[in-house]
Amino acid sequence: MDWEQQYSFCFCLLFLTLLPFLTTGQTSKNFSLGSSLTALDDDSSYKESPSGDFAFGFRQIKPDGFLLAVWFNKIPERTIVWSANGANLAPKGSKIELTSDGLFQLNDPNGKEIWNAESSSIVVDHAAMLDTGNFVLANQDSVYLWESFGQPTDTILPTQTLSQPSKLVSRYTETNYSSGRFQFVLQEDGHLSLYTTKFPLDSVNFAYLTTQIFGNGFELFFNKSGSIYVRASNGSIISMVLNSSSSQDFYQRAILEHDGVFRQYLYPKGNSSSVQRWPMAWSVVSFIPSNICSIVENIGSGACGFNSYCMQDQRPSCQCPLGYTFINPDDVLKGCKQNFVSQSCDEATPETHLFGFHEMQNTNWPNSDYANFQGVTEDWCRKACLSDCFCSVAIYNGGQCWMKKTPLSNGVSDASVSGKALIKIRKDNSTLTPNGTNKKERSTLIIIGSVLLGSSGLLNFLLLGVTFLGVFHFKFKKSEVIQPFPTAGITLRSFTYEELRKATNGFEEEIGRGAFATVYKGVLLDNNKNLIAVKNLNDSVKEGDREFKAEVSAIGRTNHRNLVQLLGFCNEGKHRLVVYEFMCNGSLASFLFTNPRPNWYQRIQIALGTARGLLYLHEECSTQIIHCDIKPQNVLIDDSCVARISDFGLAKLLKTDQTRTTTAIRGTKGYVAPEWFRSMPITVKVDVYSYGILLLELISCRRSFEAEAENEDQMVLTDWTYDCFRDKKLSLMVENDDVAREDMKKVEKYVMIAIWCIQEDPSLRPTMKKVLQMLEGAIDVPIPPDPTSFMSSI
């Protein structure tokens, strides 16, 4: 029986539409009113497009679970590109039907609705599987009233457009089509962003990749030759997202996969000569982001599950550290569980000797610290972690020891990560025993872990709170009990407002002014008559006594040759002031941009000093400090001509709403990294960007933006630099500097390092450690790409 017959049959018996009906896919005519398909075991219920490239119908996913889907029907994989009911599979015998009154609905065998195409039914005349992969409901004039292209799941196909706002949601696992943990969203304001979700809710965390704001009236388009881009209503390309140039000889699709990567795939259609070198399988031709492991850092578990770590080879993969195994190997994003009995916290039976470490280089779980020690040896770090029953992992990096608690989150193993992880495991490998001595403590932890993975947001929040309190309590106890090397620290002095008023002679001599503070010169009225710089922070600073004190003491604990030392503070009534040592040679801005200019070798020393100071802030001091406002005005020069970074840590003193809004971006125009404008996570890489600009200014002795440049191409330093570099005309940048011109090898090397630092894609920028190693010549500098290539690729 074919579809034509079915149509007349049902036309005659208008109300007899419940008769199950089976097609075998050979027919290529459209669904008419009253026709249906029934889910059967042999996967035979589907309807092909005229060319046979695509089919619409039922696919059996589980023994009694069918997916109503669209798939590529000419390839053995029969890859699914759209589905209606991923979260709610249909049992055998379910039926998709275009009812006589124009409703298109999926019902289970008892007639209960599972899904329906929400279209106005009145004028629906037929449904059709088109050759593009679009499944449509149409009226008599073939005007589409509903399209699967308008309700995408995780895949888009050539000729498909997404209009604002719309999104793709990754599936849960490769074979589970219910909503997963990542989203690709074209927002109303034109942003195109990738997000992790607050699974199992579908609300999102911070974007881990995002384009600049475009505005309204844009759409995402996948054209036939394999370009996926945002275009304006007049058709002009605003931003390329993925681009392969492929011919009609390939099937194509782009999918936000369950691992959070948006990939474009090709599959050769036949064996014409142009596709001979391609395997008969889907091949990835392009994808974003380039390395998801190193860019996702969020509340939640990160790109992988809790207690696991992410490693990008060709694809990102999630792994468990030694001593841990996947909770569910078929769902690795669920994370890993510990396989041994935890250490006893009973002081009578310390068990220290029963545990040892597995070492992993270049691995970290950045958000799981509960304690940090500096100026210690690796051996000390190991012993401290062994004697601490809360310590699950210790990270050792250049004299610093971080202790990590479970569940470990945002794990990453990547060459860009410095330091080594020491995973604490029980030596005898004994596995968890339900009635073991540690039963109680361990099971609580596991409950917390599993509840966190599977329960509601509120409960998670409460539990997190509980864990946090527990850890906080412990941390307190710990630092009093086992810390044999007290951290070298300078006692901060607490000044009264009156003292500082006197010291500055009534705030007489102003030596600087910024967006949120004015700086005055002063002299301490004690024996040494030391000069000081007093910074009067204005109302943009957070109120809240405790917070101010906590931040100030974090700044006070820093101590490095390339930082300006904080001496004290005043926190009295509405007054918030910070007191620094005074730098008599002023800032790098006046040093660099006024005559006589520092010579090439002095500039190299300043570049190195600033890099060392930043490296200390990022990786070596007890709490990581992101400066957020690196620029020549904030690098001071001391009387030995050494660069000293000032104003670090102040970003954290600002009211939170000021740190992130586009109207009040922290940092200074010309030096701020593009991610400030793109609602991407703010990481240490924003400082690397600003450092890159500063380095270019040091090389060329000119400002990052020179409105009065001789010609237009030279106005923006970064653009001009890349032009000079590309055209091999770097000597232009040091034109009147004979000393530098004699040292062109180094000039070129420094320019290349700076270009790496100013890459638009934060993940391409090196860490400050790498920057320093390159500056010092410890490692080679690879040829940098065009810094803006990221902008044009997303």
- In the numeric block, the tokens 């586009």 are attached to 662
- Examine residue 62 and tell whether it contacts ligand NAG (CB under 6 A): yes
Residue 375 dihedral angles phi and psi, to the nearest 5°: 65, 35
Among 41, 101, 346, 428, binds ligand NAG (CB under 6 A): 428
Closer by beta carbon to ligand NAG, 349 or else 431? 431
Structural contact between residues 129 and 113, judged by C-beta atoms closer than 8 angstroms: no
- Examine residue 359 and tell whether it contacts ligand NAG (CB under 6 A): no
Q: Distance (Å, rounded) from C-alpha 519 to C-alpha 646?
A: 12
- Examine residue 538 and tell whether it contacts ligand NAG (CB under 6 A): yes
Pairing mode of beta strands 411-413, 309-312: parallel
Residue 136 C-beta: closest distance to ligand NAG, Å: 6
Among 639, 657, 708, 727, binds ligand NAG (CB under 6 A): 639
Residue 469 C-beta: closest distance to ligand NAG, Å: 28
- Examine residue 216 and tell whether it contacts ligand NAG (CB under 6 A): no
Q: Which segment (189-197, 203-211, 239-247, 653-661) binds ligand NAG by CB under 6 A?
A: 239-247
Closer by beta carbon to ligand NAG, 517 or else 771? 517
The full length of the chain comes to 794
Q: Which segment (227-235, 373-381, 605-613, 647-655) binds ligand NAG by CB under 6 A?
A: 227-235
Among 224, 477, 660, 726, binds ligand NAG (CB under 6 A): 224
Closer by beta carbon to ligand NAG, 565 or else 731? 565
Size of the site for ligand NAG (CB under 6 A): 41
**Interface positions, 281-320, toward ligand NAG (CB under 6 A):** none
Residue 639 C-beta: closest distance to ligand NAG, Å: 4
Closer by beta carbon to ligand NAG, 330 or else 732? 330
| 535 marked ligand binding residue | yes
Preceding amide of 366 cis, omega within 30: no
Our CA angle for 625, 627, 631, nearest 5°, is 155
Catalogue the active-site residues: 629
- Examine residue 661 and tell whether it contacts ligand NAG (CB under 6 A): no
Among 236, 527, 663, 711, binds ligand NAG (CB under 6 A): 236
Residue 657 C-beta: closest distance to ligand NAG, Å: 13
Q: Distance (Å, rounded) from C-alpha 666 to C-alpha 649?
A: 12
**Interface positions, 501-520, toward ligand NAG (CB under 6 A):** 513, 516-518
- Examine residue 431 and tell whether it contacts ligand NAG (CB under 6 A): no
Structural contact between residues 293 and 414, judged by C-beta atoms closer than 8 angstroms: yes
Q: Distance (Å, rounded) from C-alpha 763 to C-alpha 772?
A: 17
Let me know if 80 is exposed, middle or buried by CB neighbors in 10 A (0-12, 13-18, 19+).
buried
- In the numeric block, the tokens 């039963």 are attached to 439
- Examine residue 344 and tell whether it contacts ligand NAG (CB under 6 A): no
Q: What's CA 248's distance to the chain center, in Å? A: 35
- In the numeric block, the tokens 């000889």 are attached to 249
Q: Can you read off the two tokens belonging to residue 87?
A: 């979260």
Q: Which segment (41-49, 230-238, 473-481, 776-784) binds ligand NAG by CB under 6 A?
A: 230-238
Our CA angle for 198, 204, 207, nearest 5°, is 125
Closer by beta carbon to ligand NAG, 153 or else 683? 153
Q: Which segment (61-69, 202-210, 289-297, 359-367) binds ligand NAG by CB under 6 A?
A: 61-69
- Examine residue 149 and tell whether it contacts ligand NAG (CB under 6 A): no
- Examine residue 225 and tell whether it contacts ligand NAG (CB under 6 A): yes
Residue 243 C-beta: closest distance to ligand NAG, Å: 4
Among 5, 26, 140, 234, binds ligand NAG (CB under 6 A): 234
What angle do the packed helices 685-700 and 768-775 form, to 10 degrees? 30
Let me know if 318 is exposed, middle or buried by CB neighbors in 10 A (0-12, 13-18, 19+).
buried
Q: Distance (Å, rounded) from C-alpha 748 to C-alpha 319?
A: 40
Who contacts 454 (Cβ-Cβ below 8 Å, separation ≥6)? 200
Q: Can you read off the two tokens belonging to residue 639?
A: 């009387």
Who contacts 751 (Cβ-Cβ below 8 Å, separation ≥6)? 696, 699, 721, 724, 725, 730, 733
Closer by beta carbon to ligand NAG, 403 or else 592? 592
Closer by beta carbon to ligand NAG, 44 or else 243? 243
State the first-to-last Cα distance of the chain, in angstroms, to the nearest integer.
51
- Examine residue 6 and tell whether it contacts ligand NAG (CB under 6 A): no
**Interface positions, 545-584, toward ligand NAG (CB under 6 A):** 584
- Examine residue 657 and tell whether it contacts ligand NAG (CB under 6 A): no
Residue 132 C-beta: closest distance to ligand NAG, Å: 11
- Examine residue 531 and tell whether it contacts ligand NAG (CB under 6 A): no
Among 270, 457, 465, 544, binds ligand NAG (CB under 6 A): 270
What angle do the packed helices 439-454 and 457-481 form, to 10 degrees? 140
Preceding amide of 200 cis, omega within 30: yes
Residue 316 C-beta: closest distance to ligand NAG, Å: 20
Among 5, 110, 140, 245, binds ligand NAG (CB under 6 A): 245
Q: Distance (Å, rounded) from C-alpha 204 to C-alpha 529?
A: 55
Q: What is the maximal distance between C-alpha atoms in the chain?
A: 109
What are the distances in angstroms from CA 587 to CA 399, 592, 606, 673, 740? 31, 9, 11, 22, 22
Residue 202 C-beta: closest distance to ligand NAG, Å: 12
Among 73, 94, 148, 227, binds ligand NAG (CB under 6 A): 227
Q: What's CA 456's distance to the chain center, in Å? A: 23
Closer by beta carbon to ligand NAG, 450 or else 518? 518
Closer by beta carbon to ligand NAG, 257 or else 297? 257
- In the numeric block, the tokens 């031709």 are attached to 285
Closer by beta carbon to ligand NAG, 237 or else 482? 237
Q: Can you read off the two tokens belonging to residue 107?
A: 């019902």
- Examine residue 128 and tell whether it contacts ligand NAG (CB under 6 A): yes
- Examine residue 444 and tell whether it contacts ligand NAG (CB under 6 A): no
**Interface positions, 80-119, toward ligand NAG (CB under 6 A):** 89
Q: Distance (Å, rounded) from C-alpha 741 to C-alpha 731?
A: 7
List alpha helices for 334-438, DSSP H: 378-386
Which of 291, 327, 329 lies closest to 306, judged by CA?
327
Closer by beta carbon to ligand NAG, 175 or else 361? 175
Q: Distance (Å, rounded) from C-alpha 737 to C-alpha 734?
A: 5
Among 100, 243, 553, 571, binds ligand NAG (CB under 6 A): 243
Give the three-state DSSP class for 671.
Answer: coil
Structural contact between residues 774 and 781, judged by C-beta atoms closer than 8 angstroms: yes
The 64-83 site mask, x for binding ligand NAG (CB under 6 A), equals -x------------------
Q: Which segment (226-234, 386-394, 558-566, 622-630) binds ligand NAG by CB under 6 A?
A: 226-234
Among 13, 14, 237, 464, binds ligand NAG (CB under 6 A): 237
Q: Distance (Å, rounded) from C-alpha 432 to C-alpha 440?
A: 11
272-273-278-284 Cα dihedral, nearest 10 degrees: -70
Closer by beta carbon to ligand NAG, 328 or else 361? 328
360-362-365-369 Cα dihedral, nearest 10 degrees: 90
Among 377, 429, 456, 789, binds ligand NAG (CB under 6 A): 429
Q: Distance (Å, rounded) from C-alpha 277 to C-alpha 14?
A: 55
- The annotated binding site is made up of 535
- The residues binding ligand NAG (CB under 6 A) are 29-30, 61-62, 65, 89, 126, 128, 136, 138, 142, 172, 176, 178, 223-225, 227, 232, 234, 236-237, 240, 243, 245, 270-271, 428-429, 434-435, 513, 516-518, 538, 540, 584-585, 639, 641
- The annotated binding site for ATP is made up of 535
